[in-house]
Amino acid sequence: AAEFAAHAQKDMNWKKALASEHREKAMEALQKELASLEHMILKEVKSEDEDYEDALKLATPGRLLLDIKRSGKYKCRGVKQGFKEDKVSADGEGFNYYSSVVKLNAVRMTLTRRRTRNRYIGIKDVSTAFLQSHKYEDGTVNYLSFKHPVTGQWIYYRQYGPIYGEASAPVRWENTIAPWLEEQGVIRGENERCVFYHPDRDLLVLLYVDDVMADGEAADVEWIFELLADRFECKDADYVV
C-alpha cells in the first residue's frame, strides 16, 4: 500500500506526461474524459454557432487534471474553476450552497453497533456522481471552457448540468440522490440529514457524497445496491463485514 501511495500523483504536468513514454496512456485518459463529459453534460460550441460570442464572454474556465491512481492507471478529470464563477448568473440570487454529509460519529456508531451474524455492511461508490445529478432547471445553460493540453486551443462548451469544482455541484447531487432514496421507502433523518432508515427492512443507509454505506440483512443490502446500480452508474460494492 505504501508503494502504491508513493507512485500516486495528482495534477501532473501535461507537457512532461505527453513527452514521456506514457504519452498514450495520458492521451487515452484525456479522450475518455472529454467523451464522457460530452456524453453527459457538455456540448461543444463551434465558431459557426449563434451563441459562440456568448460562450467567449460568459464561459467559466476549467482545468483538465491528469492523475496517476494508486493502481498505476492514468486518469483525467475535467473540473470547473468554481471560484471564477458568476454565481448569481449561474444559480440565481439567494441560492443555498450548503450540502450535508454523514458525520463521523454516525459512521462509528454504525460500525460498532451490536449485530447478529445475519447482518453485514456494504459500501457502494457512485461513479462521477456530480455528473449524474439532475440537469439544470428550466433548460438553463451555462458555459464552460477548457484549454486543450495537446493543441493549446481553448474549447468552449454549453453546460447542461453540474460538474466537479462547481460551487453548486455538491448540493445539486444531494438534491438528486436523497429524494431518490426516500422514493425507495427509506426515511431521512431530521437531525442527521445523511442517515436514512427503512423500518420494514431494518436497513440503515449512510451517505457521504458519492459513497453509500448500507447496514442490514444481506438480502436487504443487496436490494438497495441493485436499485442504486439501476438508477446510477456505480462501481462494484465492497463489504466490510
Distance CA 65, CA 14 (A): 9
pLDDT at 241: 67
199: its cell numbers: 423500518
**Using 50, 70 and 90 to split pLDDT, how confident is the model at 4?**
very low
Q: What is the pLDDT of residues 213-237, one digit of tens each?
A: 999 999 999 999 999 999 999 999 9
CA nearest neighbour of 76 among 125, 23, 11: 11
pLDDT score of 173: 98
The whole-number average pLDDT for the span 11-18 is 92
pLDDT tops 50 at residue 3: no
Mean pLDDT, the chain, as a whole number?
93
Q: Does the global pTM surpass 0.95?
A: no
Q: Between 2 and 149, where is the model more confident? A: 149
- Cell 446500480 belongs to 229
Q: How confident is the model at residue 87 (pLDDT cuts 50, 70, 90)?
A: very high
pLDDT value at 5 more than 50: no
Convert the chain into a string of H (helix), E (strand) and C (coil).
Answer: CHHHHHHCECCCCHHHHHCCCCHHHHHHHHHHHHHHHHHHCEEECCCCCCCHHHHHHHCEEEEEEEEECCCCCEEEEEEECHHHCCHHHHHCCCCCCCCCCCCHHHHHHHHHCCCCCCEEEEEEEECCHHHHCCCCHHHCCEEEEEECCCCCCEEEEEECCCCCCCCCHHHHHHHHHHHHHHHCCCEECCCCCCEEEECCCCEEEEEECCEEEEEEEHHHHHHHHHHHHHHCCECCCEECC
Cα–Cα distance between 65 and 79 in angstroms, integer? 7
Residues with Cβ within 8 Å of 96's Cβ and at least 6 positions away in sequence, in order, are: 171
Say whether pLDDT at 105 is over 70: yes
Other CB atoms within a 10 A radius of the CB of residue 132 amount to: 20
pLDDT reported for residue 114: 79
pLDDT digits (tens, 9 = 90+) for 110-141: 998 877 778 899 999 999 999 999 999 887 88
Using alpha carbons, select from 220, 212, 222, 218 the residue that is nearest to residue 125.
212
Beta-bridge partners for 44 = 157
Confidence of residue 35 (pLDDT cuts 50, 70, 90): very high
Confidence (pLDDT) at 6 = 42
Give me the percent of the chain exceeding a pLDDT of 90. Answer: 85
The pLDDT of residue 11 = 86
Q: Report phi then psi at 165, rounded to 5.
A: 95, -15
Q: What is the distance between the alpha carbons of residues 129 and 79, in angstroms, rounded to a whole number?
A: 13
All three cell numbers of 222: 443487496
Query: Which pLDDT tens digit goes with each residue over 38-86?
Result: 999 999 999 999 999 999 999 999 999 999 987 788 999 999 999 999 9
